[in-house]
Structure formats: C-alpha cells, structure tokens
Amino acid sequence: MTAKPAVEELDLIETGGPPADSGGRLGYGDDGGDFRPATPRSPQVYVTGIWIALASILMFFMGLTSSFIVRKGLGADWAPFTLPPLLWANSLVLLASSGTLELSRRAYRDGLRSVYRRWWHVTTALGLVFLIGQLVAWQQLRAAGVFVATNPSSSFFYLMTATHGLHLLGGILALAYVAARSRRADLVLWPAERPAVTATATYWHFLGGLWVFLFLLLWLGR
C-alpha cells in the first residue's frame, strides 16, 4: 500500500472528488458520498449579522430602559433637570443623516457613483456633527452643574447618551470605511458593495431610531 497523499495534494476540485478506489480512506465522498465544488461564502452574511447584532444592542438598551423605569418609579430622589435645547438640533441632524443616507442608497441602486459617494460623505459628516453636538450638550450640562452623580435622572442621561454615542461612533467608522472603499478607482459598485451598503445603512437607521426612543424616554421621564 502506497502512502496516502495529503489532502492538500489532491486536486479534488479539478477531479470533482477523490479517486473512487480510495475506499473511504481519504474522505470527501470516496465512499460513494455526494460532494461537489463549494459555492463561495455569500456576503449576505454581513446583512444577517447586522440584524443579529441589532437584536443584541436592542437588548442592552432595554436593560438600561427597564432600569430607568424602575429607578424612576422608586420616587424619592428623582429630580428633573433641563435638557439642553441643543439636543433637539442634534436629533434633527441625526434624522437628516438617515435621509441623506437613503439618497445615497438610491443613487447607488441607480448606479450613479459620484452622487452615491457625495451623499454618503454628507451622511458621515452629519454623523460626526451629531456626536460633536452631543459632547457640546454635555459641556452645557456640566456648566449648569449637572453631572453624572448629581441625581439619578442625570445619571441615566449621561449613561444613555454615552452608550448610544459609542455605538454611533462605530457606525461612523463603518460609514468612513465604506466611503474609503468607494474612492477606489477600480471599484465595482454592483453587486459587490451591496452588503456593505445595506449592512451599514441598516445599522445607521437603527441608531437613529434608537436615539429617537432614548431622547423621548429621557425627555418625558426627566
């Protein structure tokens, strides 16, 4: 009996499988089993993955939200404070960025490369503006003497805006990454970029919706 060839040495793909007379020693269907050349891994996984990630992120914020509701319900020391009006402007900026993101996606679907890129960059910039706006709002609160530990209402404010902001930073990085890819001269837009565009857009819209929810919660419950 000659030495078994290492699997890597067999040109399984070319021949469509191991030699029929290997009698189950090599695997890959040499016992009569059904094997065929592999289909490449679909980039659909990124889109599926984003939806799964959103379920987890939602759960995280639900944990914080239920803590908010319980803590507020305990009464006693919950003291309202004035939310900086800047937050309204920030919210509009974030919602606008969802709008520009959709403009970008429509251009992408129509194959209009430069329009797609332009609106994509605008979205990224708006996202940055939102984040900076959040930091400025924090600054305004601190100037008014409202800090993390001032009272539970302010504690939740800082906590929710910080965790949302961190997730948004991840979103900005994703937007920037796709923007960088869109600059490549040899870029094939369709369908290669579709998972990246879809996944990033789904994440971004989710964070926008999440912000609306959190903002309403913090404002109505302040």
Partner 1 sequence: MSTEGHHGAHAAPTGFIRKYIFSKDHKVIGIQYIALAITAVFVGMFLSLLMRLHLAWPTLELPFYGLMTPEQYLALMTMHGTIMVFFVLTTAPQSGFGNYFLPIQIGAADMAFPTLNMLSFWFTFVSFVVMLAAFFVSGGAPISGWTAYVPLSALGEVAGPGLGWGQSLWIVSLAIFSGASLMGALNFITTTLDLRTRGMSLMRMPLSCWAWFITAILALLGFAVLLAAGILLLLDRHAGTSFFIPGGLLVSDRVIDHKGGSPLLWQHLFWFFGHPEVYIAILPGMGIVSHVLSTFARKAIFGYRAMVYAMGAIALLGLGVWGHHMFQSGMSPYSAIAFSLLTMSIGVPSAIKTFNWIGTLWGARIRFSTAMLYALGFVSIFVTGGLSGLFLAQPSVDIPLHDTYFVVAHFHLIMGVAAIFGMFAGTYFWFPKMFGRYLNEGIGKVHFWLTFIGVYAIFMPMHYIGLSGHMRRLPDLSAYTSLADLQPVHLFMSVAAFITIGAQLLFLFNLVWSLLRGKKAVSLNPWEATTLEWTIPSPPPHDNFAGLEPVVHRGPYEFAVPGADNDYTPQHLPEVRAAPAHGDD
Q: Rule CB under 8 A: say whether 41 interacts with partner 1.
A: yes
Q: Which residues from 190-219 bind partner 1, rule CB under 8 A? A: 192
Cβ pair 126, 134 in contact under 8 A: no
Q: Rule CB under 8 A: say whether 26 interacts with partner 1.
A: yes
CA distance 60 to 137: 24
CA distance 119 to 42: 27
Q: Which residues from 78-97 bind partner 1, rule CB under 8 A? A: 78
Q: Which of 28, 89, 140, 198 binds partner 1 (CB under 8 A)?
A: 28
- Angle at CA 180, nearest 5°, toward 176 and 184? 165
Q: Rule CB under 8 A: say whether 29 interacts with partner 1.
A: yes
* Buried residues in 58-87 as b, exposed as e (16+ CB within 10 A): eeebeebbeebeebeeeeeeeeeeebbebb
Q: Rule CB under 8 A: say whether 180 interacts with partner 1.
A: no
Q: Which residues bind partner 1 (CB under 8 A)?
A: 7-8, 10, 12-13, 17, 24-29, 31-45, 48-49, 52-53, 55-57, 59-64, 66-67, 70-71, 74, 76-78, 148-149, 152, 155, 159, 163, 192
